[in-house]
Structure 1
């Protein structure tokens, strides 16, 4: 289905960002993230998040493998974004050489990865989850990288998840990604589905943060 001129007049990338802003901010101000940036967590507290990311990105990158030949979804498969190799090196440092046998997904993480797999049966669902993760890592995730470097004196392994080799500047990459969002041949109804799935992705992310906060006995965000 072709995209109409009315849709072209309202760039989808801007619609998507505006429509997910509230839930994005909710994630940023979760109790777990507030504790991380507030200096309340030991390095082991961050390692618990890195473990959950391993399962989340495993699901997304499997979806990327399946989406490679798709006319629409394939446009959003970037080998330079793949995070699993970096996460594997980070976890070897943060957890230890036997990390593969020691880590487990939280129930919230398992629900998140199941949703990624289910939603990625459609290119728009795949892109919704891809967008909410990778663009955030390239932008806001760099604040976590700086925090790890400053607070825990990590400069290599332990922070590699946030190191990207984008063959150019991060802003240029993000601009190219947003252009692909704007050019994707989705109807207005399909765009609404992508927005809805992106919100669901953020809510799953928040659920993971909340479960980590409970596990680490951080209390509520209002305390």
Structure 2
């Protein structure tokens, strides 16, 4: 894809996103639940429940990706190499066995998050890109540090930890490309405002899921 020329630095959408959201704590390091997991203070069953919540979230988001693949703006963000559902399902088979679909359930906070994704991401490219950005850039950033800690604590060497693996992707190069792609979007100021607000909402909903897991396990 040929990207448009970068706008002046302070006006870039990627720069605004960092400015408006970058000061917020990274949930990978501030969530009590994730901190307890990374510190080995919870059983593998708690980790399995996190994997289950991921399945519901990514089912909603990746179904939206199929819906939005024909949109002239959103389709640029439908990267097959980012798709997580097969990896999550492999993790769940390892953690729960072949009958894993019968053994998982969405928490109330997860259901609320999924409802928001379906509402925001299935009909408007701004909403789709916002939720795409919030999830996948998080997986490629703080999620990678978390993955290393979880692998050490729970002895996961591939199996059970595939959600965090992106084979074939140069993560730093991909994140830089993603930022340039955001900067190329032909959005008005109002659409940019809507995008940033929806990313903030996605982060809030994700934090609510982690808080609910914390109440259950800590």
State the TM-score, normalized to the length of structure 1. 0.90
Distance change (3 Å), C-alpha of 1:207 and 1:10: same
* TM-superposed deviation, 1:135: 0.9
Residue pairs, 1:1-223, within 5 angstroms: 10-25=11-26, 28-120=29-121, 121-165=123-167, 167-216=168-217, 218=218
Stretch moving more, 103-112 or 38-47? 38-47
Whether contact under 8 Å (1:32, 1:210) holds in the other structure is yes
CA distance in 1, matches of 2:80, 2:27: 30
Whether contact under 8 Å (1:67, 1:74) holds in the other structure is yes
Structure 1 residue runs of 4 or more that deviate by more than 4 Å after TM superposition: 5-9
Matched positions, count? 213
Q: Which runs of 5+ in 2 are unaligned?
A: none
CA distance in 1, matches of 2:82, 2:147: 16
Whether contact under 8 Å (1:125, 1:194) holds in the other structure is yes
1:30-77 Cα shifts (integer Å, max 9, x gaps) = 221221223211211111111000000000000000111111111100
3-state SS of paired residue (1:41) = coil
State the TM-score, normalized to the length of structure 2. 0.92
* TM-superposed deviation, 1:6: 7.4
Aligned to 1:221: none
Whether contact under 8 Å (1:90, 1:158) holds in the other structure is yes
Stretch moving more, 34-43 or 129-138? 34-43
Whether contact under 8 Å (1:23, 1:199) holds in the other structure is no
CA distance in 2, matches of 1:108, 1:22: 24
* TM-superposed deviation, 1:27: 6.1
Stretch moving more, 57-66 or 136-145? 136-145
3-state SS of paired residue (1:90) = helix
Distance change (3 Å), C-alpha of 1:213 and 1:96: same
Distance change (3 Å), C-alpha of 1:27 and 1:169: closer
CA distance in 2, matches of 1:66, 1:143: 31
Stretch moving more, 144-153 or 8-17? 8-17
CA distance in 2, matches of 1:99, 1:209: 21
Whether contact under 8 Å (1:7, 1:188) holds in the other structure is no
CA distance in 1, matches of 2:154, 2:36: 15
* TM-superposed deviation, 1:134: 0.5
Q: CA RMSD in A?
A: 1.8
Q: Which runs of 5+ in 1 are unaligned?
A: 219-223
